[in-house]
Amino acid sequence: MKTAVLRIAAALVDDGAGRLLLVRKAGTDIFMQAGGKIEPGETPAAALIRELDEEIGLRVGEDELQRIGRFSAAAANEPGYRIDATVFYLRRTWEPVPAAEIEEVIWVDAATVEAMTLAPLLRDHILPWYRHMLAHP
């Protein structure tokens, strides 16, 4: 049986002071990056710009997004699915407002994020990239 794949775009957002922005969808306990599914005909950057506005009230331009890679991981909230994620980095400070399916948005210290329940994409790919970036500016 072939595993179903969801194409998504996600953002690693930091505030420049060692904190990362994480979201939690309603009815779950897993924290992850803001972002979402890429619609047919949409580029990953366009999908992310749309999702950031819809989910947390963040408006960004494509020129603010730094593409950091494309990763595959188990879907956090969709059993039996994998995600094909294009991930972008963005540095921004503002007060996010949860909307759509997002129940909670938090800024969390990068040093303590490991103690939280994290999506596989964040735990296995994005955090290692972030730590490497900090260690090798």
Cα 126 to Cα 12: distance, rounded to the nearest angstrom: 7
Q: Is the pTM of this model over 0.75?
A: yes
Cα 96 to Cα 59: distance, rounded to the nearest angstrom: 11
Taking the chain, what is the end-to-end CA distance rounded to the nearest angstrom? 43
- Domains in the chain, CATH or no CATH each: 4-135 (3.90.79.10)
pLDDT tens profile 18-54: 899 999 999 999 999 999 999 999 999 999 999 999 9
Nearest to 119 by CA among 38, 22, 49, 43: 22
Biggest distance spanned by C-alpha atoms of the chain: 45
> What is the per-residue pLDDT for 111?
80
